[in-house]
Amino acid sequence: MKFDIENYLSTKKLLVEQKLQSLLIPGEDSPTKLEESICYSVLAGGKRLRPILMLASTEAVGGDICKALPVACALEMIHTYSLIHDDLPSMDDDDLRRGVPTNHTVYGEATAILAGDSLLTDAFYVIANEGNSCGIPPGLITEIISDISAASGSRGMIKGQAIDLELQGKNKVTIDQVEAMHSLKTGALIETAVLSGAKIGGANRGQLSKLQTYANAVGLAFQIIDDVLDIEGGGEIGKSPGADARNGKSTYPEVAGLEQAKLKAAELTEQAVNVLQDFGDNALPLKEIALYLGARNH
Amino acid sequence: MKFDIENYLSTKKLLVEQKLQSLLIPGEDSPTKLEESICYSVLAGGKRLRPILMLASTEAVGGDICKALPVACALEMIHTYSLIHDDLPSMDDDDLRRGVPTNHTVYGEATAILAGDSLLTDAFYVIANEGNSCGIPPGLITEIISDISAASGSRGMIKGQAIDLELQGKNKVTIDQVEAMHSLKTGALIETAVLSGAKIGGANRGQLSKLQTYANAVGLAFQIIDDVLDIEGGGEIGKSPGADARNGKSTYPEVAGLEQAKLKAAELTEQAVNVLQDFGDNALPLKEIALYLGARNH
């Protein structure tokens, strides 16, 4: 029987979005402007790639995805905060995200900054609290908070964003610099998604090492394809085509050429698929996600 | 023998600042602009009130302050992030903080936003990692992360900042609204500082309940006195006198009157001191801090 990846993705997306809603929608009173702006960005759609990768990784090692779900939502909250702040006028100054006006365009800069700050802070609240309720042992919760904060802080995602801003408009940018930037800005959080999911599922060291290779390959391939789509049009993130070039952004296809970039993405996808061989059928979702992302054209 | 509060405060301040330096100064290479801007704001001085309150609270229940020190530094990192973001042009638009130019004035808005984001994220990294190395049990680390994220997120400090922005320029603001705003914006983190310190020190329920009363009283008194000093001049936070009034801020002395505000601060200080009676000499630092803050004129 063929694995239905479209169905898998939409089912998991729904699961994540329902849980996100229950975590975000305030119970009492009418929502404040800040609460509205938080919900606006979190529930504006998107692939939910990080949480789905996390759940698929828990499944790959035979674990229970219910335990991983709150942490998966926390990752999506951190991802959303980073988008809200990246879009700000002083950063990338983007008006559109996921096809709708960016948070600051609708709610103003001050509220957008606070919405991002809230999502980042509340993500750790969700991990500490809900992780506990789900029966994740406290030692593992602490380890996951350490992993996720390292991946998203000054050692990871934020360092990547700082490098991205520094590289903007520069003439001589190398492929190594672009790869290093992506590995921090996008790769680190994707890696943590896969590894945290596996840890919650009870992975052993050998499995974690292979899943790390998988995550790095998928993370870079994903970013390269995003940048290719930005040039060719139809990029999923809902920005108008060519936005990166107009912002003076150094992207993989721009530095290495369009054909070389597509070749690299295909190689990375193959590498990701190959490393899953020992996991058997449990890793079918992870494998199909890599192939799906590698072949996407939107 | 008289307790030397000035000496106590300066000794603890040094301890906190040395630990902060070891947590922040990067080991290798020359620092990036982002790292520079983080160090600039964290090491720009300040009372270190939150970390010192935390350490004094650990002492009040007979605990070991070495265990509490990393968490105390994390609280100061969160406090500093909130100052950097509050000072941004779209928020309070302040040029001076602690007597020196604000972060965004020196490093630009984008870097200032990222510096704040980094400090917030890295604070949780410090608690999870260093807390572990110090021998705080994982269950307690998780509880403290839950407490601190609740106090600083959309349920606490950020909610307070959002209310503060909403109240700005409004004519009819009540004392209750101002108190509620302060209790979220400043009080929540001070309460967590005191309670986390006590929990790490091994406090029992009765002690925690009394220290909560202490923290709430000291937190509000501190804020009222800050606002009084803003009107009378010489405010410690290094802003020019009258900055609140110019920003259309609703402060306690503005709403209740200057004399009433001073009276309230004195009452709160007395309440804080009285609740410490059962703790004996261990709580002498907490008591003297309350008296010192209540009497300060800078």
B116/A162 Cβ within 8 A:
no
Q: Mean pLDDT, to the nearest integer, of B176-185? A: 90
Q: Mean pLDDT, to the nearest integer, of B49-77? A: 98
- List, in sequence order, the alpha helices (H) in B25-156: 33-42, 49-60, 65-86, 103-107, 109-133, 138-152
Nearest CA in chain B to A126: B146
Residue B235's pLDDT band (cuts 50, 70, 90): very low
**B88/A contact by beta carbon, under 8 A:** yes
- B20 near B73, Cβ under 8 Å? yes
Nearest CA in chain B to A34: B162
Task: Tell me the nearest-neighbour CA distance from B66 into chain A, angstroms.
Answer: 20
**B180/A contact by beta carbon, under 8 A:** no
Q: How distant, in Å, are the alpha carbons of A8, B13, B68, B190 from that of B50? A: 48, 10, 12, 6
- B73 near B51, Cβ under 8 Å? yes
**B121/A contact by beta carbon, under 8 A:** yes
Domains of chain A (ranges; CATH) run: 5-295 (1.10.600.10)
**A154/B contact by beta carbon, under 8 A:** yes
**pLDDT (0 to 100) of residue A159:** 92
Residue A123, pLDDT above cutoff 50: yes
Identity of the amino acid at A246: R
Nearest CA in chain B to A87: B110
Kindly report, residue by residue over B218-227, the tens digit of the pLDDT.
999 999 998 8
**A143/B contact by beta carbon, under 8 A:** yes
Residue A28's pLDDT band (cuts 50, 70, 90): low
**pLDDT (0 to 100) of residue B239:** 58
Task: Tell me the nearest-neighbour CA distance from B135 into chain A, angstroms.
Answer: 12
| Crossing angle of helices A188-200 and A138-152, rounded to 10° | 170
Residue B245's pLDDT band (cuts 50, 70, 90): low
Residue B256's pLDDT band (cuts 50, 70, 90): confident
**B3/A contact by beta carbon, under 8 A:** no
Average predicted confidence (pLDDT) for chain A = 91
A109/B33 Cβ within 8 A:
no
Poorest-confidence range of A23-37, A113-127, A252-266, B271-285?
Answer: A23-37
**pLDDT (0 to 100) of residue A169:** 75
Which residues in B lie closer than 8 A to residue A131 (C-beta atoms)?
A: 142
CA geometry: angle at B205 spanning B203 and B208, to 5°?
65
B153/A122 Cβ within 8 A:
yes
Which of B132, B150, B158 lies closest to A114 in CB terms?
B158
Q: Mean pLDDT, to the nearest integer, of B166-189? A: 88
| Global ipTM | 0.94
Give the rounded percent of residues in chain A with a pLDDT score beyond 90. 72
**B159/A contact by beta carbon, under 8 A:** yes
Whole-angstrom Cα Rg for chain B: 18
Of residues B85 and A170, more confidently modeled: B85
Residue A236, pLDDT above cutoff 50: no
Residue A272, pLDDT above cutoff 60: yes
Residue ranges of A 92-111 with Cβ closer than 8 A to chain B = 108-111
Poorest-confidence range of A247-251, A265-269, B30-34, B146-150?
Answer: A247-251
Which of B132, B159, B166 lies closest to A142 in CB terms?
B132
**B42/A contact by beta carbon, under 8 A:** no
Query: Rounded distance, CA B10 to CA B72, Å?
Result: 15
Residue B242's pLDDT band (cuts 50, 70, 90): low
B112-125 burial string, b = 16+ CB within 10 Å, else e?
A: bbbbbbbbbbbbbb
**B85/A contact by beta carbon, under 8 A:** yes
Q: Mean pLDDT, to the nearest integer, of A235-246? A: 58
Nearest CA in chain B to A127: B146
Query: Rounded distance, CA A218 to CA A202, Å?
Result: 22
Residue ranges of A 250-289 with Cβ closer than 8 A to chain B = none
Residue A235, pLDDT above cutoff 90: no
Task: Tell me the nearest-neighbour CA distance from B146 into chain A, angstroms.
Answer: 5
**pLDDT (0 to 100) of residue B234:** 56
A109/B149 Cβ within 8 A:
no
Which of B132, B145, B158 lies closest to A128 in CB terms?
B145
